[in-house]
Chains A and B, each alone.
Chain A
Amino acid sequence: MSKPDSDLHDPGTTTREREHEIVDPPLGWEGKTLKEQFDESQQLLEETGHYRGLDELELKDSDPFKYEQMYSRLRGALVSARETALHVSASPIVREIGELCFQIYTPEGDSVAVSTGIIVHVHTGSLAIKYMIEEDYEHDRGIQPGDVFCNNDNDLGNVHTTDVHTFVPIFYEDELVAWADGVTHEIDIGGMTRGHDQVASTNRHEDGLYATCEKIGEDDKLYQDWRDRGQRGVRTPMYWDLDEKCRLAGCHMIREAIHEMIDEVGAETFKQFLYEAVEEGREIMESRVKERLFPGTYRETGFHPIQWEDKAWQPGSQQNMMNHLPIEMTIDGDGGMQLDMEGATPPGPHPFNCAKGSMEGALWVYLTQSILHDGKVNDGAHMAVDTNYPEGTVVNPQDPELSYHTPWLTIFPTYLAVSRALSGGFFARGFREEVVTGYGEPSDAIQGGGKLMDSVAEAIPDALGDYFPVGPFDFSCQGLGASACRDGLNYGYAMFNPEADLGDVEEWEQTQWGLLQLSRRVKPNTAGHGKYRGGAGWEGLHTIMGSEDASLYALSIPTVTWSGAGMSGGYPGGTSYSVRAHGTDLAERSVADEPYPLDDQPVGSFEENIEADEVIRDHDGMFFPEEFENHDLLRYQTSGGPGWGDPLERSRDLVVEDIENGIFTPDIVAEVYGVVGEYDTENREFTIDAEATTERRAEIREERAERTQSFDEFFEEERARVEESEWDDGVQYMYEGVFETSDEWAEGFREFWNLDAEYTP
């Protein structure tokens, strides 16, 4: 086999003379090994409650301006590395949407500062560095100036397989003073199917290329064998290569900046600064919690239904499952926060298993957007929160055999629950405007790929190959949840990256050559209802043209039911659904100027404008990779955010606006809000029938009164169902799993429902 036909390989990588001097261990400070330094750090934190035992910030106190200048210089170096390095990449995911991030760590692997971007990695790189220290790379594998390491093994410190980290140790004289880490999100990682967030994988061997805290270069050059492995191991070698160069270039810029800083302030001051910055991060987090959240215990649960009995490929996955993602958040009066996930489902035969580091990273993303946006984001903040992601569960499996390709689908429902818990804390403190009932979970992520027909490939001058990946990041614009005083943001929120961007169609189609977008429209009735409604999602339609061998799939959530709820009487946003048409007459229609579908609004109308051999309409938006021929159609939608408060209390004027803006349709408004009137669709003018509205609202209240029952009655009815395990097989899967894993949770459940000690679901 020959190498891929590309000049990207540089045969001269490892033959020149070394530029960096070899340093003998110990590499830590004051003659310690890294392991000793790490252990000491752990011990000091445990004993004193302060990072490195720093109960005072000497540098900050004695020279606050110098201290702030250093922090600003460090942050500046990271942001500047990111801004520069993203120009090296070619993938629109990195270049346009900014899915990359740089961090700086202490020698023992605690993050000090982070750039903008996918800040979820503030903590994940930390775990990988700690793994290398604990495994004594210092003496065994060797850590030298100019070395380059790579990790995307989720179990050791990553979010999901397609996030790839490059680490560069930074030395000053004979000591390792810091680590630089760059992460990019790859468009393909060589997994069992195309796509960057797989749905079909069930174990590690199907996830794709893994680098397990691996040394991939020395003396600032990547090993040739590593580069070959990477480029041959993925479907998109050009993007892989340029993304890797992007990460490495950024890390080297950071190293240079740190050398300059140390030259300026001296090594001792720099070291002191690193430690104080982490401790300050811890203190700021405590102070924010104290200031903004009301003390108490907040309990919420996220659910993730996986309705796969008739859908999954592998036998072990062909079942209906539901993941239980409970959280108990305790806020004490001194700024302490505990997050406990006791009762989480065990890991499963799906790619949604989530390593502890991923959960911790996601916690930081969420806290940064809600409570820490004006603070210092680093591992100090992490140390201020006491987390329990129980071992052996889907949120901390401790099992490298599993598939970790798409932990986001565990993360999203969990942090929906966290968002409601935090909102409870804000609300109780009186910060109504800080309440966020949740968010539309970032899906549908349409993924896959295809090959161009020869005639089209030839028409693209200078193309590199004819394979095109499909992975638009337009799913980064969902609806945000309502607050307790206003509506949620429409089509503009991504939980994983607060700087959401749909991207232009003209941008995405530069890479996904054979996939043509036919529509991107606001989708009515996706927003969660409420006195303040959630933000709306949108609906899209794709077709395939000029391609062969195209396969597509959608990673969708919420699936067949909601992952969370609204607050104070608000509804959750709509669930997703999928419509695909195979063997269509799109071509014939388009030459005869016959209409083709642009959406499925009203729901069910899609088929009116297309003839097809087969139309698949699925209540679950998620589907496995499926072959698409030219002119086949794929309709998908993003989700809306949950609402806050009783919809009957929503101002009539706002309801009118909702109809006129296409956020809700008049039939739904009459049903939920009790607002009745005439809608002139042409001019988008809704006129309220005041009398009918008053009547309808009274009617709804009456209906509610009829449905109302006493709590005791309700409890008894539900208890009987629990006793008989009268529920869907997905729910059965969930309770069985939790009972097997957590005696503590099972005991609490029995106690709550007043069940026998022997009860099992």
Chain B
Amino acid sequence: MSTENQTEHDPRLLALDTGGTMTDSFIVDEEANYTVGKAQTTPEDESVGVKQSFDNGLGYWDTSFAESAASLDGVVYAGTAMLNRLLEREGTGDIGVITTAGFEDHHRMGRGIASWADLSYAGRLHAREHEHPEPLVPRENINGVRERVNMLGAPAISVYEDEIREAVHDLLDRDVRVICVCMIFSYANQAHEKRVQEIAEEIKDERDDDTPVWLSSEQNPVRGETPRLNTLILEAYAVEPSREQLFGIEDTLRDQGLNSPFRVLTSSGGTIAPDHDWLAETMLSGPIGGVFGGEFLADKLGIDNMVCSDVGGTSFDVALITEGHYPTRWDQTLAQIPTNIPMTALDSIGSGTGSYLRVDRASDRIEVGPDSAGYLVGVANENADVTTPTVTDCTALLGYINPDFFLGGDIPIDVEAAREAIDDQLASNLGEDPVETARGVLDIVERDMANELRSMVHGLGYAPENYNLISYGGGGPLHAAGYTKPLEFKDILVPDWAAAFSAFGTACADSAYRYDQSVDIILQPDFSNAGRGDDRCLPQTPREGCGCLPTRRYRPGGDGVSAGDSRTVHRDARRPGGASRGVLGRRTHCHGHRGSRREVRGGVWPRLPACGPLAGERLPVHRRNRRGCRALAEADTPRRGPGVDGDTARAGPQERATDLLGGRVARRRHLGYGPHRRGERRRGTGGDRGPGDDDAGSARVGGVTGPQPHLPPDAPGPMSRQTTEPRDDRSDHTHQ
């Protein structure tokens, strides 16, 4: 499939969407003509399928990858290989974890939500179905180290260095490939994680060992210790092994003559080089390509607000672009595992063209999905053995699709088979005519889609009247009229390359490295401090005197955090001509409202305005060598603020002891209830709260009295206790 009948093409940009079954490619030339290629995905060596797909697409232009490689500006890869590796649990193990002691089980506990995260609505309600995913790291490979940092980023309990040594030696003895370090509140202060790394480096030197040590505060300093740890583990489990695949594809393409950048699409909407430090952001990139395509079109057409809607074989996906930007989420699960990978906000319902249709006999109601025939299409597909009717069977019966030209004629459609299945399994149970039933099904499916749109747009406080909608995906053009009908969008757009729009979107993605940082601030009722998230970026230096254990480590005046903090540096901002654009944009995501303690995630990222990865020199980033160790490739600006790195003095025990939590405070009782005389023993509803019930035996401040909660040492009852100094004796006042 390609545009124009032009004979000469000069391909400039290649984009890939490597799915579980097919590898799609989208190829654009100098004149913005495009062609689309397809080939079977080759999971063993993806580069084979990639090259075939390119050759297939370029074949329409009478050329091949080898012939055009030299003239390309870049290749962008998007795919599901890493996700599949995780879904099928075929990643690489031997991962070690060091975390805050006491929280070694967080990974397997999955915050509880891991047990139901990917289930349908009915499945979520049905407790019996819930099941935790198998942990990626066995419990014996997770070691705890005593320490605690509090919510202000202040070390409440200093890190136990002997325990670090013990933990590191143990993991190295276990021959782990990598040590992942994640400690509570390390996003607010990475000092303890850093200390683990320093000591680990010393031990590695001693042992002549080169096992890499990764810190969660370096990968993704975002609030939420469970997803933060999981994301780091995913990097080791599914991502790092995929790096080899990416290098393999890159090498194959370079062998064919490619000398422009090979880039990988991230879930947050940029492309990065395969040797970038962290690739977890590329875990899920295929489905969101369309959003970047939408963003590109919106920009070209001068549209501020756009709803992107994608009707695929298995799901209906919706994303929102508001004032040119799409929101990002941090709380997604991947294969049930909670992560904090920033992802372009995309809502999905299990309603697609391949969704199965059934009648629930208890309620005589049509059920759509959530399972799907996917690429097998439906009963009407003569080449597949599908027996349950699907949404596509309904569109076939209604004559909405050309039975002789489905997927360009690749799949022959048998309308009669569709009619029969719909009649037998649906219409006859409802006492309806099959055609009416098919139309009714589409009404339900499209109404569900409309609800999803409504909920996404209204859910963010917006109104459809202010949005244009773009519809794409294999089923987009077919269903757009139906699902937009109940809503008053400004305009509906259907690109004529709707079926390949996601791959097109991949080509539109900017070259961008994204860094996130959670900053907790309490927004005031009048929003007077709403903009101060910028100033608070990186509260690596806690304030003096916040009442926690040792404060000496951080000297007064060490605030050292400012808007231009060096950590927000970005290093990949080149245009085709080679001119560096520097910082093109600065984003601070501020989710919050009056009076609540909220999180501000400051992401600063450079953005390029046009189609993605472009020619130019290699960019200065931390690179991973093929053993997974980090090497500084070129001059690099430190990522962290001052005052927390290794040269900061660690206070000695003596000094620290003097700064313990502020001594004892005046004791006040605020337990809120006064004791009463023993009265009626049975089943009364208690006495009333009269002032006369006070007694001299309990302390009293501000008119509020409270009983001493502890029993005397000789009190009868189920308690066993060791008391060196009884605080009070309640019998004094309970028997008065």
Contact = CB atoms under 8 A, between A and B. Distances in A.
Contacts of A507: 223-224
Contacts of A453: 547, 661-662, 665
B680 A316 contact: yes
Interface string B89-107: 0000000000001111110
A582 interface: yes
Contact of B111 (A7, A501, A518, A631): A501
Size category of the binding interface on chain A: 35 or more
Contacts of B593: 87-88, 90, 242
A66 B432 CA distance: 14
A80 B722 contact: no
A595 B686 CA distance: 45
A175 to B, nearest CB: 24
B224 A202 contact: no
Contacts of A18: none
A541 B151 CA distance: 17
Interface stretch (A68-76, A162-170, A701-709): A68-76
B669 interface: yes
Interface stretch (B18-26, B453-461, B506-514): B453-461
Given A84-B459, A613-B723, A489 B717 contact: no
Contacts of A483: 128
Given A72-B447, A618-B719, A83 B455 contact: yes
Interface string A375-416: 110000000000000000000000001110000000000000
Interface in A609-634: 612-620, 623-627, 629-631
A760 to B, nearest CB: 15
A518 B109 CA distance: 16
Given A315-B687, A456-B547, A591-B657, A502 B662 contact: no
Contact of B686 (A349, A590, A683): A349
B546 A462 contact: no
Nearest to B103: A520
A456 B549 CA distance: 12
Nearest to A60: B364
Given A370-B127, A499-B116, A455 B546 contact: yes
A192 B156 contact: no
Interface stretch (A26-34, A220-228, A304-312): A304-312
A159 B140 CA distance: 43
B348 to A, nearest CB: 14
Given A436-B128, A502-B109, A614-B723, A462 B524 contact: yes
A328 interface: no
Contacts of A587: 549, 657, 660-661
Contacts of A592: 653
A546 B662 CA distance: 8
B543 A436 contact: no
B185 A506 contact: yes
Contact of B223 (A402, A504, A623): A504
B724 interface: yes
Contacts of A541: 102
Interface stretch (A45-53, A135-143, A490-498): A490-498
**Which of B432, B666, B672, B723 neighbours the largest number of chain A CB atoms within 10 Å of its CB?**
B672
Contacts of B683: 316, 346-349, 737
Given A202-B686, A314-B687, A684-B140, A545 B150 contact: yes
B385 to A, nearest CB: 27
A476 interface: yes
Contacts of B687: 314-316
Contacts of A513: 151
A510 B151 contact: yes
B520 to A, nearest CB: 7
A684 B681 contact: no
Contacts of A317: 686
Interface string B423-434: 000000010100
Given A505-B225, A590-B549, A192 B673 contact: yes
Contacts of A36: none
Contacts of A80: 451, 454-455, 458-459
Nearest to A80: B455
Given A370-B127, A582-B727, A683 B362 contact: no
A319 B148 contact: no
Interface stretch (B242-250, B617-625, B707-715): B707-715
Contacts of A288: 362
Interface stretch (B56-64, B117-125, B271-279, B373-381): B117-125
B389 to A, nearest CB: 16
A7 to B, nearest CB: 4
Given A548-B665, A596-B146, A614-B724, A504 B710 contact: no
A737 B679 CA distance: 19
B160 interface: yes
B661 A545 contact: yes
Interface string A412-450: 000000000000000000000110100100000000000
A64 interface: yes
Nearest to A681: B140
Interface in A163-191: none
Interface string A469-506: 00000001100100100000111110000111111111
Interface in B44-101: 101
B587 interface: no
Nearest to B432: A64
Contacts of A287: 362-363
A455 B547 contact: yes
B35 interface: no
Interface stretch (B130-138, B199-207, B295-303, B497-505): B130-138
Interface in B565-601: 593-597
A519 B140 contact: no
A613 B725 contact: yes
Nearest to B104: A521
Contacts of A506: 151, 184-185, 187, 223-225
A614 B728 CA distance: 12
Contact of A477 (B112, B665, B689): B112
Interface string B135-157: 00011100010101011101011
A76 B455 CA distance: 7
A477 B549 contact: no
Contacts of A462: 521-524, 529
B685 interface: yes
A76 B121 CA distance: 12
Contacts of A76: 451-452, 454-455
A374 interface: yes
Contacts of A612: 722, 724
Nearest to A462: B522
A72 B362 contact: no
B332 to A, nearest CB: 15
A464 interface: yes
B703 interface: no
Contact of B101 (A205, A502, A504, A598): A598
A90 B599 CA distance: 12
A643 to B, nearest CB: 15
**Which of B455, B523, B550 neighbours the largest number of chain A CB atoms within 10 Å of its CB?**
B455
Given A64-B365, A501-B112, A591 B543 contact: no
Nearest to B130: A489
Contacts of A653: none
A253 interface: yes
A301 interface: no
A743 to B, nearest CB: 18
The 5 closest A-B pairs by CB, nearest first: A519-B102, A90-B596, A202-B686, A316-B684, A65-B440
19 contacts: A192-B689, A193-B672, A203-B686, A315-B686, A349-B684, A375-B363, A456-B152, A460-B522, A462-B524, A490-B132, A499-B113, A499-B124, A504-B225, A505-B103, A506-B151, A506-B187, A538-B109, A625-B709, A627-B669
Given A253-B458, A368-B125, 4 more contacts: A72-B448, A464-B522, A476-B112, A489-B127
